[in-house]
Structure 1
Amino acid sequence: MSDDAGQKLARIVSAAIFGLIAVLIGLDLLLDSRDGVGALHIALEGSVLIAALTGMVTMLRRFGRVSTDLARARDDAERWRREHQSLLQGLSAAIRSQFDDWRFTQAEAEIGFLLLKGLSHKEIAEVRGTSERTAREQARSVYAKADLSGRSELSAFFLEDLLPPHAAIGASEEQPG
């Protein structure tokens, strides 16, 4: 099941639970009023009914906003990828070339790309069908062959020249725009 389908199912189940609570409380209120239960008891259960309905509506609205924001973020990311596809392919080729210069095996290159994508050792192990320990050892091998101390230095090796220098960042923030 995809994340979207799972999230949609969670929203439906959550809303159904709130709705069921509201229906059950409504039925209880109806039965209590027929049995001549006191006004305070009816008022308290009515408050619980209102709280359940408010929770359901609030949750559905919040899920709606989150879904809209997520869809917008995915659209933005996809648009950015389309607009910069040639740059991304060039960067990927340049990274691959550097991996070749470091004499990475195919497995090490794959690990290197997954590390650069930000996957954890556990996620890398799942993607590659290995143990987390194997993924961790392969990552150490990548860092050793590249003569880097870890993931942050690996990322910085490729990003350092792509980003403006620190002084340029500060100057651009000060300019009105």
Structure 2
Amino acid sequence: MKHRLPALIMALIAVQVICAIVFFVDVMRDAADLGGVGWGLLPEALASLALFVGIAFEAACLAHLLRRKASLERSVGLASSALQGVIENHFDAWKLTASERDVAALMVKGLSISEIAGVRGSAEGTVKAHLNAIYRKADARNRAEVLSHIMDTLIDRPLLSGGERPPAGTRRAVN
């Protein structure tokens, strides 16, 4: 539904434009029959004008929202690329093999051991062995600590009292 919403709104605006034109033409015909716009036609003429103004406002709002949506989608794409870069930097620092990188990437995405094994077409024991190698190289005890190392890189505040960050792959004290 959300992907069809802009088209639905544009269709609604088109119907409103048709109605406004019909309404305006009716006011003009009545004015011609009466020999001018009199006090009786003034409310209809103002309503017709207000309808056109409302249509213009709706169209401007829709255009603004569509531009904003496109901008946000670009921002999400950039953030996704940046996050991928951070993850790849950690994998490089930990000197993961190609197989370990694949398993680590799937782990970061939240897949279980059985899901990773299914995606990779390997045994669960192989995935567990890769995960143990990843934990060892990342100086982590479990998935949460691996993800914590990655997330620490994304946090824009000092993690230690002196303001310095711990080197990649090292454990930090948990209070």
Q: TM-score, normalised by structure 1?
A: 0.50
Give the CA deviation at 1:157.
8.7
Query: Per the alignment, do residues 76 and 97 of structure 1 end up closer, same or farther by CA in structure 2, a change over 3 Å counting?
Result: closer
Contact kept, 8 Å, 2:27 with 2:41, in 1: the verdict is: yes
Unaligned runs of 5+ in 1: 111-155, 169-177
Aligned residues with identical type, % of pairs: 11
Contact 2:6 2:62 in 1 (8 A): no
Q: Residue in 2 aligned with 1:10?
A: 8
Q: For the structure 1 residues 15 and 94, does the alpha-carbon distance in structure 2 shift closer, same or farther, using more than 3 Å as the test?
A: same
Once the two structures are TM-superposed, the CA of residue 87 in structure 1 deviates from its matched residue by: 3.5
CA-based RMSD: 3.9
Q: Which amino acid aligns with 2:11?
A: V
The 5 A counterparts of 1:1-177 are: 3=3, 6-36=4-34, 39-88=38-87, 92-95=105-108, 99-100=112-113, 105-106=114-115, 162=151
Deviations 1:104-153 (A, max 9, x none): x439x99xxxxxxxxxxxxxxxxxxxxxxxxxxxxxxxxxxxxxxxxxxx
Specify the code of the residue in structure 2 equivalent to 1:24. Answer: V
- Identify which of structures 1 and 2 has the higher relative contact order when contacts are C-alpha pairs closer than 8 Å and 6+ apart: 2
Given that 1:18 and 1:55 are in contact with CA atoms closer than 8 Å, whether structure 2 keeps it comes out as no
In structure 2, what is the Cα distance between the partners aligned to 1:97 and 1:26? 59
Say which SS state the counterpart of residue 35 (structure 1) adopts. Answer: helix
Conserved 8 A contact 1:22-1:52: yes
Amino acid at match of 2:51: A
* TM-score normalised by length of structure 2: 0.51
Give the letter aligned to residue 112 of structure 2.
F
Cα distance between partner residues in 1 of 2:69 and 2:41 = 41
Are the structure 2 counterparts of residues 95 and 18 from structure 1 closer, same or farther at C-alpha, using a change threshold of 3 Å? same
Give the Å deviation of 1:166: 9.8
Which is helix-richer, 1 or 2?
1
1:8/1:98 Cα in 2 relative to 1: closer, same or farther (>3 Å)?
closer
1:38 Cα deviation after fit = 7.1
